[in-house]
């Protein structure tokens, strides 16, 4: 009788471990999807701004500068996101940190990326205006 009870307990422990693992995988998948969406949104915004700048000041120099800026921003975004996804995976899977903490980390890095994009786009516009006026 006691043996049957112990075997049942061990099976329950195994099930609980599997559930916890599934939960962590779901969190990681959610973080990866969030990052993918963030990348797409940021790149679309950068592309739209680049097109507007090109239309506003249709000069070869500005086009080259804008394209270079967009490429630079894309590289920064991809690097930040790759690092972030690795961090999220390590944090969630290894340290079993709560989902809220991971969400805050993701939000913080998204803000950083947005600021970087804003600065680069502003620099592109300023350089474009200086080139056109100068």
Q: How far apart are CA 47 and CA 105, in angstroms?
A: 26
How much is the average pLDDT of 6-23? 74
d(CA 36, CA 92): 18
Query: Helices 99-133 and 2-56 sit at what angle, rounded to 10 degrees?
Result: 10
Give first-to-last CA distance, the chain, whole Å. Answer: 91
Model confidence pLDDT, tens digit, residues 113-133: 777 777 777 777 777 667 666
| Predicted pLDDT at 103 | 67
d(CA 50, CA 62) in angstroms, rounded, equals 10
72: alpha, beta or left? (left if phi > 0; alpha if psi -120 to 50): alpha
Alpha carbons 45 and 113: distance in angstroms, whole number = 12
54 or 11: whose pLDDT is higher?
11
Listed by start position, the domains of the chain span: 32-129
Confidence of residue 101 (pLDDT cuts 50, 70, 90): low
Average pLDDT score over the chain: 71
Instruction: For residue range 56-96, list pLDDT tens digits in order.
Output: 666 666 666 767 777 777 777 777 777 777 776 666 666 66
pLDDT on residue 20:
66
For residues 99-110, average pLDDT: 68
pLDDT of residue 91: 67
Residue 55: count of CB within 10 angstroms of its CB: 8
- Tell if the pTM clears 0.75, that is, is over it: no
């Amino acid at each position: 009788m006691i043996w049957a009870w112990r075997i049942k307990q061990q099976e329950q422990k195994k099930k609980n471990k599997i559930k916890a693992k599934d939960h962590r995988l779901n969190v990681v998948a959610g973080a990866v999807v969030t990052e993918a969406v963030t990348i797409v949104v940021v790149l679309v915004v950068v592309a739209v701004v680049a097109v507007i700048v090109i239309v506003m000041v249709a000069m070869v120099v500005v086009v080259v500068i804008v394209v270079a800026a967009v490429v630079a921003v894309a590289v920064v975004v991809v690097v930040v996101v790759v690092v972030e996804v690795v961090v999220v995976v390590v944090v969630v899977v290894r340290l079993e940190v709560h989902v809220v903490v991971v969400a805050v980390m993701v939000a913080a890095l998204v803000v950083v990326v947005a600021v970087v994009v804003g600065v680069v786009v502003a620099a592109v516009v300023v350089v474009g205006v200086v080139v056109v006026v100068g």
